[in-house]
Amino acid sequence: MEMLSMLKVGYTVLRSETPATDLVNTFMDWAARRSLLLLALFMPPYYVYKLTASAAATVAPQDVAGKVVLVTGASSGIGEQIAYQYAKKGARLALVARREGSLREVAAKATDLGSPDVLVVPGDVARPEDCKAFVQATVERFGRLDHLVNNAGLVNVCWFEEMPDVATFKQVLDVNFWGTVHPTHAALPHLTRSRGKIFVNSSAAAVLAMPRMSFYNTRGM
């Protein structure tokens, strides 16, 4: 009851009709109305543009032959397959993951599929110093960077309420969130010079949440 009384007092204070609160409320109402109007005006053309651009990319895909592409999480799964698709189109690759042995196997197959040059750089995307190092190694090897593919990710399957220590999720956040931020920050100056592109591999779990994956479900948000 004491907590409820405190909440009521706080609400009353916020709702008190003072010149300052009136001014804030008036501004927020003005901004909200115009924001909704702007969304209504610009969202439909924006989605038409996105659909058109996507269709154009499908019909006439970009020529990536000779482009320098850095792929994180390239030792297996989706990252491995992304590397092979780039290799088939003649891109030069920098492959990053923690497992060097698996990376070298992927590099060998990528070379067989058509990549003219493949660099293997073991690294952990959760470590800022590793991100700076593998971006720098890529630029030193190829002289440029055209595409950054942020693909590395972890999944943690459990009931959230049954976790004895939620700090266990820190590694998931370090890889899935900061593992995209750190490589992007390190690569941005080089991508700006080359007018390159940044790709982020998200997850459909953010739209269609899966049970026992509550923390991972934020990956695509």
11 catalytic per annotation: no
Cα gap 221→209, rounded to integer Å: 11
The partner residues of 206 in beta bridges, in order of sequence, read none
Burial class (CB in 10 A: 0-12, 13-18, 19+), 100: middle
What is the token pair recorded at 90?
A: 């003649």
Cα gap 6→109, rounded to integer Å: 65
Cα gap 98→110, rounded to integer Å: 18
Residue of 207, 199, 215 lying closest to 86 (CA atoms): 199
Residue 160's identity, in one-letter code, is: F
- Tell me how long the chain is: 221
Catalytic residue chosen out of the listed positions 47, 84, 86, 216: 216
Residues acting as catalytic residues:
216
